[in-house]
């Protein structure tokens, strides 16, 4: 179409304000679901920020000393405590799963059903591994006597904040994993190729849904980087 | 965006540009030209049975009415609670069953219900759902299913809240601010089940609201009809949009503080709990910070004020413009004021905490930001009254409520300047001055708008007019009554009467206020009962009201221009409307009628000298 | 009746109410007259704006009531007017804010010669601790509170030994000497508020907050708790007696210090042991 209105817009900052203020859509060519995910993630960012800021406030104002994190989180390999070992693996797995997710989105847009489906499954398994290792770490700490209400190594807020924030993040990962499995099934069944309508919605399925799920997944990873930095490196 | 997307829509765009290019051939020279549609038509789920049509309904208009009725129900509960409080304050010991415990439970539930479950749900859930798709020219919200779930989450939240009246120990009596440590310690009524249910209910409310809020924002941003630019949206939409954006960013803080306090209560973590000695025993808590909760709470709580106020600002602007038959003065400034107030509202929260024991140096910063916010707010007031200047004012019930809003809002806004200015706040904070201020500014003023809006949009929703005569009685009782409750109440604050006092005893300087307290109680009862006029008016007009017909107020905005009144599911019949102008073209020089609707193309009103919008 | 008349009545009524109201400030008894002045300033500017806005509104309502075919002004925007209004409002706001901030600056900077008074709050009552001759309060911890040590003073801190303990809710102060109130709470939030002194601040468990004032009028004043603290909040009263230097001295000399208290307890313990021994 020569008169394609999406291609005839001014560029630069002026173009941006022109787009935003124009009729119909503020973000040209961006699907509703994608905008929804972005705004939801913005809201979710505020949730995690509130958690992490509360954590910083709690950690700096407690009267009892904070436990030495490199000792508390260390793993004994052959009798030698190795700090950050488990957490490094966890982080590595999660970041890798972000990579597979990005590839899944790419293959999705290329309508490569098989690759897309397998990569989503790989992402889901990565997420599952992460949650599994988190369960291991929780049970290790619980075994050592750390509880939300007490902590043998120092300030009791350590346990409270650790379980609350990693738990909240773990819930996010788990929800993501569930959706990844559902979407993998949908991809393999071909829902996104033939535009089948979803269970709860009258809208046609589209590969953009994979990208939207990907946004969520990358966000969960990004949050983990902050949690990692504030809990394990500080 | 990827190319597939454009290709997919190409046939549709071709189709629609056929229809608009009309007779003149080259679209760019046609004065009626509007860009072709970018998006395909929305598929809607049409309910078949009673349940899918009226109960689990995906039509935003029905959801709006559901929100409205649920919110009004909780509001009536809140109103009755306020009577009980006032009876105790005006006539202590008159009602034997009001003990101090009950009094504090009434205070708490009244506050929480009115702020969150009544006003927020009513403005955003009620008016938002009903008006957004209609006013921006969409068929429905963008995610109708999620929208439905949003209402039912809200409904469950209300049920949990109401359930707390019936659990052992009763509802929480922690004050609506729920400050720890007191909220979860035995010295406060309802500190077991009551507070837990309150926190759970709030969390559910936040989750439900997030679902609705995403819908409102994305419908406004991405689902407007052709020609509906941002600067052609009615101010109602701007108000609701900004308020929803605030809610999306402010409610997280509430959710986080609710989660943390629930853990403090149930798992005995110590997020907000320092070492405490109660009744001679050292409790198991230690090391937490009560002030942290206050920061989180008010980071939610202050934007919450504007979540209630901004939709009211928007709606009242539209009502004034329609009934004064004149464009709203300084539309662009009104928009920027709404957005500016919304943005600033995230930087003023600690003005609720001047005497809370936070670092005293914060006082300078927050006093400054708070008074800065007074500037855009004052400009909005000026613009409302300038709109009335040289207008043609219909003195009907809607306009009366708008005028009532201006008086109460200016009054409450100015007492806000007292409380925002830190040195002035110190003697007045935690006294009745504060109560009078916030009831005037975010109780009565938004209520005036809600009632005006009901009189204004009732014909749209039901197809029948409300009785003007009853409406005027209702207005005068409500406005004069409410004003005589809260205006004198400021003076109780000057005397130094602290808030949340079950009884004043015989404090020497308070004895003089007994008569005033009795007067306020009587006024409160009268105002409360006069709402029966309103309810009667609504119920009777449903069957005997004058049929409204199309566009009874001769308004310009899109919601009045649906093919059917009341609008059907899908709103617009076959074709979506096309917008050619802003909604405020009243009394344009050169035009035949005193209004030009948004869908009127320029070629039909050639002689009108319309300013470019 | 034209509705404009009633709105006019509301404005006039508000002004008259303000002029003739019998309900006004308690007489000030501290140095914070400046707070009253800023309130007055805000009242004049704010009240003026309220009256002007409402009168303009009433004028419009009278003048431009609906008439078929009335000529209506069509002016969507007027940048000059908007600019003037913005600037005028900003100037007004600065005029209100600047004095407020100056007063606040005085409020948070305590004078050097201020007498320290520690206020202990709990559900639902008050007690006080004053520094002894050394002028320094000993450190204290809530967790150390017991029947023998009602303020939780650290026993190893020598500064605490001569602290004067007042296990009663009546506090005496002398006139014309600044007082720094240090607030501690054992359980929940409280607020030590005397309306006549204008000043207030929350007491928060876990930290010590402060404010200061200079009582300048002899008399008895009621203390009210001004932060909701549970079901007994409304009953949480106390008394402050402001008196002359002479009376104050004689009052303070009658009070018990922490070492007196310990000595008394030791005595009691010895007595008890003696009694037990005698009984054997």
B464 shares its domain with B602: no
Check CB contact of B291 with chain C, cutoff 8 Å: yes
Whether residues C24 and B495 touch (CB distance < 8 A) is answered with yes
Decide which of C108, C128, C161 is a domain's last residue. C108
pLDDT at A2: 40
Domain containing A204: what range? 35-233
pLDDT at A5: 53
Look at residue A42 and tell me if it is in a domain: yes
pLDDT at B25 over 60: no
Q: Residue A4's pLDDT band (boundaries 50, 70, 90)?
A: low
pLDDT at B17 over 70: no
C150 shares its domain with C177: yes
Look at residue A51 and tell me if it is in a domain: yes
B94 shares its domain with B215: yes
Residues whose CB falls within 8 Å of the CB of residue C191, separated by 6 or more in sequence, listed in order: B355, B430, C200, C201, C202, C203, C225, C226, C227
Mean model confidence pLDDT for chain C: 89
Residues whose CB falls within 8 Å of the CB of residue A75, separated by 6 or more in sequence, listed in order: A81, A82, A85, A86
Structurally, chain A folds into a number of domains equal to 1
What's the rounded mean pLDDT across residues A141-153?
A: 88
Q: Residue B184's pLDDT band (boundaries 50, 70, 90)?
A: very high
C55 shares its domain with C140: no
Angle in degrees, CA C89, C90, C93, rounded to 5: 85
Whether residues B268 and A202 touch (CB distance < 8 A) is answered with no
Bridge partners of C200?
none
Q: Which residue of C has its CA nearest to B587?
A: C72
Check CB contact of B535 with chain A, cutoff 8 Å: no
Q: Which residue of B has its CA nearest to A50?
A: B253
Share of chain B above pLDDT 90, in %: 72
pLDDT at C147 over 90: no
CA distance B304 to B318: 22
CA distance B290 to B188: 16
Q: Cβ distance C201 to C210 under 8 Å? A: yes
What's the rounded mean pLDDT across residues B563-569?
A: 88
Contacts of B216 in chain A (CB under 8 A): none
Whether residues B143 and A36 touch (CB distance < 8 A) is answered with yes
pLDDT at B312: 95
C194 shares its domain with C236: yes
CA distance C198 to C216: 13
Look at residue A19 and tell me if it is in a domain: no
Check CB contact of C111 with chain B, cutoff 8 Å: no
Look at residue B287 and tell me if it is in a domain: no
Do strands C115-122 and C125-130 pair parallel, antiparallel, or not at all (unpaired)?
antiparallel
Look at residue A6 and tell me if it is in a domain: no
Check CB contact of C42 with chain B, cutoff 8 Å: yes
Look at residue C43 and tell me if it is in a domain: yes
Q: Residue B8's pLDDT band (boundaries 50, 70, 90)?
A: very low
Q: Residue A122's pLDDT band (boundaries 50, 70, 90)?
A: very high
Look at residue C198 and tell me if it is in a domain: yes
Q: Identify the chains in contact with C, defined as 3+ C-beta pairs within 8 A.
A: B
Look at residue B592 and tell me if it is in a domain: yes
- Supply the angle between the helices A157-189 and B235-266 in degrees, to the nearest 10: 120
C129 shares its domain with C104: no
Look at residue B359 and tell me if it is in a domain: no
pLDDT at C89 over 50: yes
Whether residues C85 and B364 touch (CB distance < 8 A) is answered with no
Nearest to C225 by CA among C247, C205, C195: C195
B518 shares its domain with B609: no
Look at residue A55 and tell me if it is in a domain: yes
B541 shares its domain with B567: no
Interface with chain C: mutation pick from B291, B331, B382, B423, highest number of C CBs within 10 Å: B423
Look at residue C277 and tell me if it is in a domain: no
Structurally, chain B folds into a number of domains equal to 3
Residues 230-289 of B with CB under 8 A from A: 230-232, 248-249, 251-253, 255-257, 259-260, 263, 267-271, 275, 284, 286-289
Check CB contact of A36 with chain B, cutoff 8 Å: yes
B469 shares its domain with B580: no
Q: Where do we find the tokens 């022109």? A: A18
ipTM of the complex: 0.92
CA distance B424 to A184: 62
Whether residues B516 and C108 touch (CB distance < 8 A) is answered with no
Domain containing B599: what range? 563-613
Decide which of B520, B548, B576 is a domain's last residue. B548
C120 shares its domain with C241: yes
Look at residue C69 and tell me if it is in a domain: no
Look at residue C276 and tell me if it is in a domain: no
B535 shares its domain with B590: no
Look at residue B360 and tell me if it is in a domain: no
Give the CATH number for residue A160: 1.20.120.80
Contacts of B2 in chain A (CB under 8 A): 109
Q: Residue B149's pLDDT band (boundaries 50, 70, 90)?
A: very high
B472 shares its domain with B574: no
Q: Residue C61's pLDDT band (boundaries 50, 70, 90)?
A: very high
B422 shares its domain with B487: yes
Look at residue C197 and tell me if it is in a domain: yes
Whether residues C189 and B290 touch (CB distance < 8 A) is answered with yes
Decide which of B233, B252, B268 is a domain's last residue. B233
Contacts of B14 in chain A (CB under 8 A): 1
Bridge partners of C171?
C240
Give the CATH number for residue C261: 2.60.40.420
pLDDT digits (tens, 9 = 90+) for A51-87: 999 999 999 888 888 888 888 888 888 778 888 888 8
Query: How many CB pairs lie under 8 A apart between chains A and B?
Result: 167
Is the dihedral angle over the CA atoms B552, B555, B557, B558 positive or is it negative?
positive
Check CB contact of C91 with chain B, cutoff 8 Å: no
Look at residue C201 and tell me if it is in a domain: yes
pLDDT at B353: 92
pLDDT at C158: 84
Of A47, A109, A149, which has the smallest distance from its Cβ to B2's Cβ?
A109
Other CB atoms within 10 Å distance of the CB of residue A132: 12
B133 shares its domain with B86: yes
pLDDT at B14: 38
Å between B611 CA and nearest CA of chain A: 18
C227 shares its domain with C132: yes
Of B36, B226, B249, which has the smallest distance from its Cβ to A43's Cβ?
B249
CA distance B491 to B194: 34
C160 shares its domain with C246: yes
Q: Residue C18's pLDDT band (boundaries 50, 70, 90)?
A: very high
Whole-prediction pTM value? 0.92
Domain containing C233: what range? 115-270
Look at residue C170 and tell me if it is in a domain: yes
Of A1, A22, A157, which has the smallest distance from its Cβ to B270's Cβ?
A157
Angle in degrees, CA A97, A101, A104, rounded to 5: 140
Of C78, C104, C183, which has the smallest distance from its Cβ to B423's Cβ?
C104
Look at residue A7 and tell me if it is in a domain: no
Of B100, B406, B424, which has the smallest distance from its Cβ to C234's Cβ?
B100
Interface with chain C: mutation pick from B169, B410, B427, highest number of C CBs within 10 Å: B427
Q: Identify the chains in contact with B, defined as 3+ C-beta pairs within 8 A.
A: A, C
Token pair of B480 as six digits: 């004069």
Contacts of B145 in chain A (CB under 8 A): 200-201
B540 shares its domain with B588: no
Mean model confidence pLDDT for chain B: 89
Q: Which residue of A has its CA nearest to B287?
A: A62
Look at residue A183 and tell me if it is in a domain: yes
Query: How many CB pairs lie under 8 A apart between chains B and C?
Result: 325
Structurally, chain C folds into a number of domains equal to 2
C133 shares its domain with C237: yes
What's the rounded mean pLDDT across residues B355-374?
A: 92
Contacts of B218 in chain A (CB under 8 A): 32, 35-36, 39
Whether residues C96 and B371 touch (CB distance < 8 A) is answered with yes
pLDDT at B537 over 70: yes
pLDDT at B288 over 80: yes
C97 shares its domain with C218: no
C98 shares its domain with C155: no
Other CB atoms within 10 Å distance of the CB of residue C16: 11
> C-alpha C5: how far from its chain's center?
41
Decide which of B233, B258, B275 is a domain's last residue. B233
Check CB contact of A29 with chain B, cutoff 8 Å: yes
C97 shares its domain with C126: no
Whether residues A50 and B252 touch (CB distance < 8 A) is answered with yes
B518 shares its domain with B613: no
B421 shares its domain with B542: yes
pLDDT digits (tens, 9 = 90+) for B477-524: 999 999 999 999 999 998 888 999 988 877 777 777 888 999 999 999
Whether residues C61 and B504 touch (CB distance < 8 A) is answered with no
What's the rounded mean pLDDT across residues B112-120?
A: 94
Look at residue A144 and tell me if it is in a domain: yes
pLDDT at B20 over 80: no
CA distance C16 to C169: 41
Contacts of A19 in chain B (CB under 8 A): none
Residues whose CB falls within 8 Å of the CB of residue C64, separated by 6 or more in sequence, listed in order: B324, B388, B389, B390, B391, B392, B393, C70
Whether residues A58 and B269 touch (CB distance < 8 A) is answered with no
Contacts of A168 in chain B (CB under 8 A): 259
C262 shares its domain with C156: yes
Of A5, A39, A46, which has the smallest distance from its Cβ to B217's Cβ?
A39
pLDDT at B6 over 70: no
Whether residues C82 and B394 touch (CB distance < 8 A) is answered with no
């Amino acid at each position: 179409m020569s008169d394609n209105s999406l291609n005839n817009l001014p560029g630069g900052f002026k173009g941006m304000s022109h787009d935003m203020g124009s009729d119909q859509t503020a973000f040209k060519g961006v699907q509703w679901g994608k905008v929804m995910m972005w705004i939801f993630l913005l809201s979710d960012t505020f949730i995690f920020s509130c958690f992490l800021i509360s954590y910083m406030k709690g950690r700096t104002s407690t009267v009892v000393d904070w436990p030495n994190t490199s000792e508390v989180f260390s793993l004994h390999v052959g009798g030698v405590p190795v700090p950050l070992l488990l957490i490094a693996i966890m982080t590595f797995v999660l970041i890798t799963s972000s990579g597979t997710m990005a590839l899944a989105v790419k293959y999705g847009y290329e309508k490569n059903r098989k690759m897309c489906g397998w990569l989503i499954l790989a992402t889901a398994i990565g997420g599952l591994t992460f949650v599994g290792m988190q369960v291991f770490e929780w049970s290790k700490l619980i075994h050592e006597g750390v509880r939300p209400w007490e902590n043998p190594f120092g300030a009791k807020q350590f346990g409270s904040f650790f379980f609350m924030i990693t738990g909240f993040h773990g819930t996010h990962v788990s929800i993501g994993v569930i959706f990844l499995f559902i979407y993998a099934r949908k991809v393999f069944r071909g829902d996104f190729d033939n535009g089948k309508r979803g269970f709860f919605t009258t809208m046609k399925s589209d590969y953009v849904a994979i990208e939207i799920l990907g946004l969520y997944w990358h966000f969960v990873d990004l949050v983990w980087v902050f949690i990692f930095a504030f809990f394990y490196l500080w | 965006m990827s190319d597939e997307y454009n290709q997919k829509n190409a046939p549709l765009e071709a189709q629609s540009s056929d229809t608009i290019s009309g007779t003149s051939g080259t679209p760019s020279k046609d004065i009626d030209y509007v860009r072709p549609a970018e998006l395909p038509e929305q598929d809607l789920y049409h309910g078949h049975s009673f349940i899918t049509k009226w109960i689990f309904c995906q039509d935003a208009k029905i959801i709006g009415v559901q929100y409205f009725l649920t919110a009004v129900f909780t509001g009536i509960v809140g109103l009755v609670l306020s009577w009980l409080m006032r009876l105790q304050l005006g006539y202590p010991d008159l009602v034997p069953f009001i003990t101090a415990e009950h009094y504090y439970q009434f205070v708490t539930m009244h506050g929480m219900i009115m702020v969150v479950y009544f006003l927020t749900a009513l403005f955003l859930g009620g008016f938002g759902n009903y008006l957004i798709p209609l006013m921006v020219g969409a068929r429905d919200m963008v995610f109708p299913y999620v929208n439905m779930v949003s209402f039912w989450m809200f409904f469950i939240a209300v049920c949990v809240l109401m359930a707390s009246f019936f659990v052992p120990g009763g509802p929480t009596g922690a004050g609506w601010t729920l400050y720890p440590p007191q909220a979860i310690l035995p010295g406060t009524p309802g500190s077991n089940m009551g507070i837990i249910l309150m926190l759970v209910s709030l969390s559910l409310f936040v989750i439900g609201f997030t679902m609705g809020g995403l819908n409102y924002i994305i419908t406004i941003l991405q689902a407007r009809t052709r020609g509906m630019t941002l600067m052609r949206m009615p101010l109602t939409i701007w108000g609701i949009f900004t308020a929803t954006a605030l809610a999306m960013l402010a409610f997280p803080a509430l959710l986080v503080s609710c989660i943390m306090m629930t853990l403090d209560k149930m798992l005995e973590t110590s997020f907000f709990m320092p070492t405490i000695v109660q009744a001679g025993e050292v409790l198991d808590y230690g090391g937490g910070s009560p002030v942290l909760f206050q920061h989180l709470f008010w980071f939610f709580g202050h934007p919450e004020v504007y979540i209630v106020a901004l939709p009211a600002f928007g709606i009242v602007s539209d009502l004034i413009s329609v009934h004064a038959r004149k464009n709203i003065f300084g539309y662009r400034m009104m928009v920027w004021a709404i957005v500016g107030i919304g943005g600033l509202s995230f930087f003023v929260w600690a003005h609720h905490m001047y005497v809370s024991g936070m670092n005293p140096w914060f006082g300078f910063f927050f006093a400054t930001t708070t008074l800065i916010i007074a500037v855009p707010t004052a400009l909005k007031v000026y613009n409302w009254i300038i709109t009335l200047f040289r207008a043609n004012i219909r003195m009907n019930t809607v306009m009366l409520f708008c005028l009532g809003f201006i008086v109460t809002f200016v009054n409450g806004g100015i007492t806000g300047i007292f409380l925002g200015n830190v040195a002035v706040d110190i003697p007045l904070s935690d006294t009745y001055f504060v109560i009078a201020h916030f009831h005037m500014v975010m109780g009565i003023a938004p209520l005036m708008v809600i009632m005006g809006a009901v009189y204004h949009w009732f014909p749209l929703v039901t197809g029948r007019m409300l009785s003007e005569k009853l409406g005027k009685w209702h207005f005068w009782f409500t406005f004069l009554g409410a004003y005589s409750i809260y205006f004198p109440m400021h003076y109780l604050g000057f005397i130094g009467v602290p808030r949340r006092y079950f009884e004043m005893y015989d404090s020497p300087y308070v004895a003089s206020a007994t008569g005033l307290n009795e007067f306020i109680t009587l006024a409160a009862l009268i105002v409360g009962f006069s709402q029966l006029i309103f309810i009667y008016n609504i119920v009777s007009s449903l069957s005997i009201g004058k049929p409204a017909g199309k566009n009874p107020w001769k308004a310009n905005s899109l919601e009045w221009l649906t093919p059917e009144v009341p609008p059907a599911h899908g709103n617009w019949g076959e074709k979506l409307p096309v917008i050619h102008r802003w909604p405020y073209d009243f009394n344009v020089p050169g035009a035949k009628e005193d209004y030009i609707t948004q869908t009127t193309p320029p070629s039909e009103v050639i002689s009108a000298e319309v300013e470019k919008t | 009746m034209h509705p404009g008349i009633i709105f006019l009545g509301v404005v006039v009524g508000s002004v008259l109410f303000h002029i003739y109201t019998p309900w006004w400030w308690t007489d000030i008894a501290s140095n914070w007259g400046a707070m009253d002045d800023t309130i007055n300033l805000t009242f004049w500017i704010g009240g003026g704006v309220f009256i002007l806005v409402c009168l303009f509104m009433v004028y419009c309502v009278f003048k431009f009531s609906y008439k078929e075919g009335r000529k209506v002004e069509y002016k969507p925007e007027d940048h000059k007017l908007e600019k003037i209004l913005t600037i005028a409002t900003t100037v007004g706001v600065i005029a209100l804010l600047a004095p407020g901030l100056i007063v606040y600056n005085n409020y948070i900077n305590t004078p050097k010669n201020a007498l320290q008074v520690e206020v202990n709050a709990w559900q639902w009552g008050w007690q006080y601790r004053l520094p002894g001759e050394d002028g320094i309060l000993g450190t204290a911890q809530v967790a150390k509170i017991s029947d023998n040590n009602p303020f939780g003073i650290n026993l190893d801190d020598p500064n605490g030994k001569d602290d004067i303990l007042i296990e009663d809710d009546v506090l005496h102060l002398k006139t014309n000497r600044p007082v720094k109130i240090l607030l501690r709470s054992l359980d929940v939030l409280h607020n030590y508020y005397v309306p006549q002194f204008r000043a207030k601040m929350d007491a928060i468990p876990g930290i010590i907050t402060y404010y200061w004032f200079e009582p300048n009028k002899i008399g008895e004043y009621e203390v009210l708790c001004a932060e909701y603290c549970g079901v007994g909040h409304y009953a949480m009263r106390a008394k402050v007696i402001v008196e002359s230097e002479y009376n104050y001295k004689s009052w303070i000399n009658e009070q018990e210090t922490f070492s007196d208290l310990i000595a008394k307890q030791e005595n009691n313990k010895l007595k008890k042991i003696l009694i037990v021994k005698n009984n054997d």
